[in-house]
Structure 1
């Protein structure tokens, strides 16, 4: 209420989910007693499957992931090699972004059925990164 008078008349402030552990209602842990899954696999299960299912439940404001190992790739650029190929950091970044996305296609109709067409192009392995074309030569061939 103390700040309300300083806000524009059209502003409608609202409280978001509590960002601290104080507001947590429920806490759970993923434990693999078989030893077949490492911490990165358990975290991926949480982030890509469980979190979305739990967040879809009524009255769930937030599902916070804590712990585990988050998989990440780091691309380390070598300025001398970039200069040798006349590449910029921006061009490399654009190529990475372009290669790491999901694209919706269209609908394919077969008889009475309709199928959604989409291209999933997320980078998952080191080889996926190696296959990203950064430029083309004079013949138009990706290098």
Structure 2
């Protein structure tokens, strides 16, 4: 893995869609606002965006932890900015602090992510043939 600088950031721009609102499989639609689980996905995506340029050939990253504190709502159509900031690298584990703000700069959420860098072939072996077939469809 190429070196990281603590404080290095990656940014993801998101516009809230109906698919990002609170809608549970068994319980159905609950609230027409940006879901906490969508925020978690975007935190992981921003962290991955930070990681990818640092991977060497033959390396792969996989998420290992995510924590989210959802502070304020956002509605369908709202433009959001998600930022992942490197807070440290411990061995092959990249830790990030994440935030999401709306177009007015209002903080909607904050949290952390962790990703582990592994040899790509080791990750492929752990995923198994069914995961590879699903990925390659």
Q: TM-score, normalised by structure 1?
A: 0.22
- The structure that is strand-richer by fraction is 2
* Greater RCO (CA < 8 Å, at least 6 residues apart): 2
Larger Rg: 1
Q: TM-score, normalised by structure 2?
A: 0.23
